[in-house]
Structure 1
């Protein structure tokens, strides 16, 4: 991790939000949205060059975003990033991975890696942030509509279902501290991760959506920002599906 000093960048007053996986996709869109909402944002990612390039671009637009290069499973590194800021008001766990594998071909290594990044990579930042939050803190995890099930990604389904369960458990333990913990479950979203699939596969996935197209990362960021807002005081332990209605199933009549 690169040494950073966030204290020199922040003064008391504005709320500070930390966003993991902020170099691209939903994490980047969330960093932008929260900065526009008045948060001072610490954008975290392990892809240093990409993260610094994006943060420089946002800073040129007048947005208050600082880069912190760190791995989400590196507890000591995360603690250092959190301690470098004067306060921790919100955390968004947007970092995660996905890969495709049939159940009978899925290896132990792939399964463990998925759980390590998607579940431990949510647990560790959330625990460290919660230890530093005061009343009014917000933690938003990113699960997935895929938690409801699907073919060719049992390991991903299991990891995102675990994130939903973890979110509920954290919300129950943190409610007396007045820290709200919620999850956003995106449907198929147009991100660099989904665009890495062959074009014909991406198109086929889009055709399965009720709207006939993928969500934009901004749509997901809007939901995340709602759950991070100081005015959203009576929602905790919930999972908000942002999937254009696909999770409803069935056909209208």
Structure 2
């Protein structure tokens, strides 16, 4: 796999989990912001179809099929590009299970994809970045806690801790590392829940609806921009204010 269409004169951004949802919206947004974007996902047909639609819009996006939990695959994608300026780790999974019914296998899979699948692309990107590089991880408002998804909560809380640790080690290299923590967002992942559950979730949002992936992509693009050089180690909650708690009376 090569990225022969990528110009070394443009900043190059990589987005994992880019076949759908937040990752796809982010790939489109970064391309509109002037990046050459490498959209990464393991779902080949879905990724190639999504990227083809972006290319039809005149956007500079290239598809790269890769499993982000496999270091060799990630390295192959990064090494095929002329430079690495930004890495957005948007790949992730979610499923619900009551605490007392949660299995070790389900817990391990969640940590493997959501934590290791963030660590490997971020680490390999950092190894190839020059000063001014940007890494953006995707956590979740769920990191604050919740019922029926303890393994997801643990994985996203780990992403926040990992983000801070990476930011501390990379600050002398002038590489910024930040996280975006979306609230309830309308994506194929959340739409996989029963319709009545999705509707119930929407009703408890302050706005009465889920965020669009574009809302989350806006925040990611802000943190991926070269102009945000003085922001690092932060987690930005994009959840319509729900994480504030309290009662409005």
SS of alignment partner, residue 167 of structure 1 = helix
SS of 1:244's equivalent in the other structure is coil
> Counterparts of 2:110 and 2:48 in 1: how far apart (Å)?
26
Which residue of the partner structure matches residue 80 of structure 2?
84
Residues 144-203 of structure 1 deviation map (CA, whole Å, 9 limit, x = unaligned): 000000000000000000000000000000000000000000000000000011111000
Q: Equivalent residue for 1:209?
A: 205
Partner of 1:18: 14
TM-score, scaled to structure 1? 0.98
Match of 2:2 in 1: 5
Q: Distance in 1 between matches of 2:115 and 2:26?
A: 20
Aligned twin of 1:178: 174
Alignment partner of 1:136 is 2:132: yes
Please list the CA deviations of residues 93-148 of structure 1 after superposition, one character each: whole Å capped at 9, or x if unmatched.
Answer: 00000000000000000000000000000000000000000000000000000000
Structure 2, unpaired ranges of 5+: none
- Residue-by-residue CA offset, 1:46-105 (whole Å, 9 max, x unaligned): 000000001111111100000000001010010010000000000000000000000000
Q: Which position in structure 2 is the counterpart of 1:233?
A: 229
Measured in 2, the distance between the counterparts of 1:151 and 1:54 equals 33
Please name the residue that 2:31 is paired with.
Answer: 35
TM-score scaled to structure 2, two decimals? 0.99
Cα contact 2:19–2:46 (8 A) shared by 1? yes
8 Å contact 2:7–2:36 — kept in the other structure? no
- Give 2:187's match in structure 1, choosing from 173, 176, 191: 191
Alignment counterpart, residue 109 of structure 2, candidates 101, 109, 113: 113
Residues of 1 paired with 2:89 and 2:53: CA distance? Answer: 22
Q: Does 1:100 align with 2:96?
A: yes
Q: Give 1:162's aligned residue.
A: 158
Distance 1:12 1:203 in 2: 46
Q: Which residue of 1 aligns with 2:64?
A: 68
Instruction: Give the 4+ runs in structure 1 shifted more than 2 A.
Output: none
| Secondary structure of 1:63 counterpart | coil
What is the aligned length?
Answer: 249
Q: In the TM superposition, what is the alpha-carbon distance from 1:11 to its structure 2 partner?
A: 2.5
